[in-house]
Chains A and B, each alone.
Chain A
Amino acid sequence: MSTPEAGGDLARFRAGVWSENPVLVQLLGMCPTLAVTNSLENALVMGAAASFVVVCSNLVISLLRSWIRPHLRILVFTLTIASFVTLADRILQACLWDVSQKLGAFVPLIIVNCIIIARAEVCALRSRPLRAVADGLGVGLGFTLALALLGAVREVLGSRTLLGIPVPGAGFEPWIVMVLPAGAFLTLGAVIGVVNHLRGRAPKGAIG
């Protein structure tokens, strides 16, 4: 895994999206990935919320990095992340009530999303604000894309709709298991298998 200081801000952004994709490569943030991808809409909103939190928390941590004591840093991270998550949760409840109800407890669970704490520790604590924001955006986008991929697959195969709109030309019987918990595990396992195969194929360092 490349160090945060290596390469430019753009490289950091791209790394977050592909070569260090938080879900498919680093295998972090599994819980929401499995839980909210039963429909594309849920997946996108969760991705957006998590992106908001990771960008804001990375920015704040980076701005404060010279003052954070090492043995108290987890506390500072958690405090920051929890506050932004509360903010995101309230905004969702005010503006997107229906989706926030469907996401349920998983919005506040962003607090313990390993991705965000990991980015704070690995990147934001040691980088300039601009780099931290680029990292946050990249990781957020990577997370959202992974969620969207799973959400789309599970929704199309499981409910024969996409974003609630019935998929035309699909005459097949929906694979109900796709929208059930079992389907989440199976889909993610298969997707990771495919991603590993693709990464194994390409020469090292060629991706991202």
Chain B
Amino acid sequence: MTLETLIAIFIGTALVNNLVLAMFLGICPFLGVSRRLDMAFGMGCAVTFVITLSGMLTWIITHGILGPLGGALAVDLSFLKYLLFIAVIASMVQLVEMYVKRFFPALHSAFGVFLPLITTNCAILGTCLLIDLRGYSLLEALTFSFAGGLGFALAITIMAGIREHLTLCDVPEPLRGPGITLLVAGILALAFMGFAGMMR
């Protein structure tokens, strides 16, 4: 596992296989929080923080606890994986919420229910699961989750910028809201496909 691999994982996850636009993770907040630029950016930062920590913690749990414990008991403990993953994520989000409430109370009230909803953000659980599926090492897992969070933040911020402009446009009635947002996301996804050649 070289620096080259790590860079490949970083760019691959942030741009080429962007969590939102290519892997379909984190769509709910992507649609829900991208109305305002400042909230979108804040959400992006919060998610990046939670993803990176959760990615590392779940790796440690899988390889440091479930693995050796299962080995010691001669039993396959992998069925507890999902339960433990979601428990870790929920705790992380609780931590973030407490931190934001203490140090950024205005932002906390602006976010409202969306902050605890980060727990159900599939981007986070998805990242932890992918780290497990792909068998990354700890450093690769760290790079992957950080890059994933950055990619999510990038996508949601771009979308917020576009949506703020869209409020000034004449969108047909049935398409207002989620309809036009999804269509714009589709075009964004097409644009991000252009990054695919970078992996060479």
Contact = CB atoms under 8 A, between A and B. Distances in A.
A79 B24 CA distance: 24
Contacts of A177: 190
B27 A30 contact: yes
B27 A34 contact: yes
Contacts, number: 119
Given A86-B83, A189-B180, A112 B24 contact: no
B199 interface: no
B70 interface: no
A109 B189 contact: no
Contacts of A112: 86, 119-122, 125
B125 A108 contact: yes
Given A27-B178, A86-B79, A114 B130 contact: no
Given A34-B27, A104-B133, A181-B24, A188 B83 contact: no
A184 B24 contact: yes
Interface string A188-199: 111011101100
Q: How large is the interface on B (under 10, 10 to 19, 20 to 34, 35 or more residues)?
A: 35 or more
Interface residues of A, number: 43
Interface string A163-201: 000000000000001001111111011101110110010
A168 B150 CA distance: 45
Contact of B28 (A90, A114, A197, A200): A114
Interface string A81-107: 011011001100000000000001100
B26 interface: yes
A31 B28 contact: yes
Interface in B160-200: 172-175, 178-183, 185-187, 189-190, 193
Given A30-B27, A31-B25, A85-B82, A189 B125 contact: no
A49 interface: no
Contacts of A137: none
Interface in B83-135: 83, 86-87, 90, 119-122, 125-126, 129-130, 133
The 7 A-B residue pairs whose C-beta atoms are closest, nearest first, are A189-B182, A185-B186, A186-B186, A35-B24, A197-B174, A30-B27, A196-B174
28 contacts: A27-B178, A30-B28, A31-B24, A31-B28, A34-B27, A35-B23, A35-B24, A78-B87, A83-B83, A86-B82, A105-B126, A105-B129, A109-B25, A111-B125, A112-B122, A113-B120, A181-B21, A182-B186, A185-B186, A186-B187, A189-B175, A189-B179, A190-B183, A192-B175, A192-B179, A193-B175, A196-B173, A197-B173
